[in-house]
C-alpha cells in the first residue's frame, strides 16, 4: 500500500495523507488563509475548522460526504452545545462517527478537529 501526502505545512506534518482507500486529515485549527485565528467564539472557529478540513479533503479528491470518523478536542466542555450546532451544519445527514474530548490545546483556540475519509482510490 502506498502513501501520498497532500499540502504543505510549516510544522513537521502533512495536512492530509492518503493510504489506500483512506484519507487522514491532520488536526485542523481555526485559522484563515492569512494564518490568523478567526474571531467570534467556538461557532465561528468550528465553521473555519470545517472549511479547512474541506480544503484538505479536496486536495485528496474527497468531500465531507466521504468522512467516516472525526476526533474533536474542545478547550471547554461548556462550549459543547454551540460547537455541536456549528458542526452539524457540515453534516446535515449521515454524520460520521465522532469522539469529542475536553483538552488543553496547543494554541489559544476553542476547537481542533481531525478527520478520516474513505474513498476508493
Where are the domains positioned within the chain? Answer: 3-118
Question: What pTM value is reported for the model?
Answer: 0.94
Alpha-carbon gap, residue 50 to 3, rounded angstroms: 24
CATH hierarchy code of domain 3-118 = 3.30.1330.40
Q: Mind listing the pLDDT tens digit for each residue in 7-32?
A: 776 777 889 999 999 999 999 999 99
pLDDT score at 72? 98
pLDDT tens-digit map of 71-97: 999 999 999 999 999 999 999 999 999
C-alpha atoms less than 13 angstroms from C-alpha of 66 in its C-beta half-sphere = 21
Amino acid at each position: 500500500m502506498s502513501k501520498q501526502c497532500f499540502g504543505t505545512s510549516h510544522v513537521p506534518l502533512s495536512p492530509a495523507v492518503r493510504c489506500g482507500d483512506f484519507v487522514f486529515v491532520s488536526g485542523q485549527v481555526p485559522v484563515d488563509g492569512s494564518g490568523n485565528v478567526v474571531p467570534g467564539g467556538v461557532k465561528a472557529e468550528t465553521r473555519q475548522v470545517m472549511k479547512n478540513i474541506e480544503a484538505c479533503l479536496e486536495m485528496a479528491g474527497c468531500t465531507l460526504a466521504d468522512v467516516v470518523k472525526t476526533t474533536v478536542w474542545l478547550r471547554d466542555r461548556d462550549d459543547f452545545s454551540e460547537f455541536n450546532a456549528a458542526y452539524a451544519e457540515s453534516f446535515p445527514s449521515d454524520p460520521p462517527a465522532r469522539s469529542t474530548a475536553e483538552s488543553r490545546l496547543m494554541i489559544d483556540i476553542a476547537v481542533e478537529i481531525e478527520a478520516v475519509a474513505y474513498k476508493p482510490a
